[in-house]
Structure 1
Amino acid sequence: MLSFITIVLVIYGLFLISGILFPNDPQWYATVKVPSWAPSGQLIGMVWAFLYACIAVSIAIVYTRTSGFTDIGIGWIAAVTSNYLFNQAYPFFLFKVKNLELAFLDSFAVAATACSLIIMTVPYSKFAAWLLVPYLVWSCFATLLSWVIIQLNRS
């Protein structure tokens, strides 16, 4: 069985993939109207780095408590997988496709699946579930911010 640290590093690395494949486009983003309360790109990057660590530790806890996911339901695996895919799609929609509406919808899906994941993680570890709460809060904030950006950029 893989070690706890190996799982954390693998999961953390997986969450970094979309940032590598679809890096931000500062020239384009500078043309997008954002509210005065929008955090800086640097702060957003630091928050995501922290959140990815929390997600990775949470998943590693569940992995170790369920003998490598052998004692876990398909629902939890589906929740993790769908959340991961939605999370990875956001920079694609925002920086590659440059579609604010798709980015908003994706952000909403990230928040919804994060909420589902928290609920489904509780039976395996309350601590692992609590580690996901900042992710849910930030995802909800990002969804609100995405909605406001859409409104500010309507022609």
Structure 2
Amino acid sequence: MPKIFKILVMIATCVGVGYLSSLFTREGVDTWYRTIEKPSFNPPDWIFAPVWTTLYIMMGLAAGLVWDKIEEQRETVRKGIIFFWIQLALNALWSYLFFGLHNPLLALIEIVLLWLMIYETFIQFNKVNKVAGYLLIPYLLWVTFATVLTASIWWLNK
């Protein structure tokens, strides 16, 4: 299977998961989210869609680059891809917990697990392909910020 096909499949998968997550997000933003207290450093709503779209594309590119090395580093690639799928599922789950269930505390607990899975994915991807590892750094940084934001929202609204 050609490298470009693997990359495109993974990008499409990540963007698709992002789209599905956005269904909970849109509904929650338009109703509940507008009514809760947010910290002063809360970004404007319009910033989230372009940031997340960019991050999903970078995640998919990273996963495709790693998947392409399956024949050369089967075990490390397999381990990295497993962590990748776990973090992608946790990524989608966060939107449901926060915006769907309106539960910042549960979302906070979950995002800590998400951060750990992203970090482990980064470690595994970095062993296979340095560029793939580097492509996950902005995602890790954004989720670090999102963790602080989630914690702040929980604290302000508990």
TM-score normalized by structure 2?
0.87
Question: Bigger shift: 72-81 or 86-95?
Answer: 72-81
- 1:15 corresponds in structure 2 to 18
Q: Distance in 2 between matches of 1:91 and 1:8?
A: 19
* Structure 1 residues not aligned, in runs of 5+: none
- 1:102 corresponds in structure 2 to 106
Corresponding residue to 2:154 among 136, 150, 155: 150
- Give the 3 Å change call, closer, same or farther, for CA 14–151 of structure 1 in structure 2: closer
1:117 correspondence with 2:115: no
Q: Distance in 1 between matches of 2:9 and 2:117?
A: 25
1:107 CA displacement: 1.5
1:131 CA displacement: 0.1
Once the two structures are superposed, residues 61-106 of structure 1 have per-residue CA deviations (whole angstroms, 9 ceiling, x without a partner) of: 1111224x98244422321121011101011101211111011112
TM-score normalized by structure 1?
0.89
Match runs of 1:127-146 below 5 Å: 127-146=131-150
Question: Bigger shift: 76-85 or 5-14?
Answer: 5-14
| Identity over aligned pairs, percent | 24
- 1:82 corresponds in structure 2 to 86
Q: Distance in 2 between matches of 1:63 and 1:75?
A: 11
Task: Select the structure that is richer in helix.
Answer: 2
- 1:44 corresponds in structure 2 to 48
Q: Distance in 1 between matches of 2:70 and 2:17?
A: 21
Any runs of at least 4 consecutive aligned residues in structure 1 with deviations exceeding 3 A, and if so which?
none
Q: Distance in 2 between matches of 1:75 and 1:9?
A: 21
Q: Distance in 1 between matches of 2:67 and 2:11?
A: 10
